[in-house]
Amino acid sequence: MAPIPYVRLTVAAAVALLPAAAAQAQKQTFRDQPLVSSIYTADPSAHVFGGKMYVYPSHDVPTNIPDDDLGNEYAMHDYRVLELDRPGGKVTIGPVALDVKNVPWASKQMWAPDAAYKNGTYYLYFPARDKAKDKNGLGTFRIGVATSKNPMGPFKAEPKPIAGSFSMDPAVFTDSDGKSYMYFGGIWGGQLQRWATGKFDPNGSDTDLHQDNKPALSGKVVRMNPDMKSFAEKPRDAVILDEHGKPVLGGDHEKRFFEASWMFKRGGKYYYTYSTGDTHFLNYAIGNNPYGPFKYTGHILKPVAGWTTHHSIVEWNGKWWLFYADNQLSGKNHLRNVKMTPLTFNPDGTIVTIDPLKPR
């Protein structure tokens, strides 16, 4: 059962729909089919390296942990990379690229990763909880980096997280001038709301700020140093503006940022894309530089089957592709499957909205 558009639905509320969702998933029509079915994958970050497509997804694992708004049921502990020679062709699943047990500072929950390449080295960026404990007995999310000479790994993690990093969902964009930027952040379980003052509040809200009439929480953007392992500056807000040039408000759950930042550049414009979380849209906002501000422009993807939506957008051999995930195979929120679908642009640069539950 697809989430209901325009209705705020917490994970706890969505859990009540799971038995019906599993049955409904077997009957639904889906626009696209999973890239792989032997493992569960989500949060796909896609990159073209050497003409091939490499997808860096989360590796979902079965668990008996109940669904909650902190995302404890998402208990991923390692990464596997997917390789494609061509769209619709064979997909190779790589061996374990990185396991949390080999990350000195991390305790658990290796969520959505990303990757980059520079000067013969591949960089894997990943969030994980550190070994400290908060009021819920959980660690604080930090962002780490690991390196390899092979895009499939294995990757060796740096001994400490990136200094100044926090929250989750790292996405690294390299501009035409060679400068790279990381976009990151996610509210609820991603803890971004606990950093609202610039410092971590261990007793802060577990959901959001409940300030619907004030500017929404923004995802973060920060320029990377040339070593690709550290920040060159303090992270700043990636502000999304409405049609009147004012910051989108926290109460506008169809437009505001929740998680899953992804940046790409087309026609000299910067497309800041993201998930709205509890209204289940993928959105985009357009700006004139990597820092923004970005003007909200519309929906990329309507709600999928399942609770979360996390994506990437990449050009490959002259065509644009959207990578996303749903729960078609399992009917469970925490066991997802990655998909890819063509992305179409209008002459004015706007994106044609995709319905994942209608055939092409």
What is the per-residue pLDDT for 58? 98
Catalytic residue among 73, 114, 259, 278: 259
Quote the distance between the C-alpha of residue 89 and its chain's center: 24
Asked if the structure places residue 205 within a domain, the reply is: yes
119 phi and psi angles, rounded to 5 deg: 50, 45
Asked if the structure places residue 348 within a domain, the reply is: no
Quote the distance between the C-alpha of residue 1 and its chain's center: 22
Residue numbers of the domain that contains 151: 11-342
Asked if the structure places residue 294 within a domain, the reply is: yes
Catalytic residue among 43, 60, 169, 278: 43
Name residue 79's beta-bridge partners: 98
Residues 136-165: pLDDT tens digits?
A: 778 899 999 999 999 999 999 999 999 999
Range from 63-72, 138-147, 232-241, 271-280 carrying the lowest mean pLDDT = 63-72
Distance CA 341, CA 338 (A): 10
26 — pLDDT class (breaks 50, 70, 90): low
Asked if the structure places residue 241 within a domain, the reply is: yes
Q: What is the mean pLDDT of residues 257-279?
A: 97
Distance CA 202, CA 36 (A): 39
Asked if the structure places residue 65 within a domain, the reply is: yes
Q: What is the mean pLDDT of residues 220-246?
A: 98
pLDDT tops 80 at residue 335 = yes
Q: Which residues contact 1 (CB under 8 A, 6 or more apart)?
A: 17, 20, 21, 24, 25, 305
Q: Decide if 212 is catalytic.
A: no
Q: Decide if 73 is catalytic.
A: no
Distance CA 97, CA 75 (A): 17
What is the per-residue pLDDT for 203? 82
Count of structural domains, the chain: 1
Asked if the structure places residue 3 within a domain, the reply is: no
Asked if the structure places residue 4 within a domain, the reply is: no
pLDDT tops 70 at residue 19 = no
What is the per-residue pLDDT for 27? 62
Distance CA 201, CA 134 (A): 9
pLDDT, greater one: 198 or 246: 246
What is the per-residue pLDDT for 24? 53
pTM of the model: 0.92
Report cis status (omega within 30 of 0) of the bond before 66.
Answer: no
Quote the distance between the C-alpha of residue 196 and its chain's center: 20
Residues 49-75: pLDDT tens digits?
A: 999 999 999 999 999 888 888 888 898
Q: What is the CATH number of the domain that holds 149?
A: 2.115.10.20
Q: Which residue has the tokens 């038995």?
A: 19
18 — pLDDT class (breaks 50, 70, 90): very low
Asked if the structure places residue 303 within a domain, the reply is: yes
pLDDT tops 90 at residue 265 = yes
CB atoms near residue 77 (< 10 Å): 17
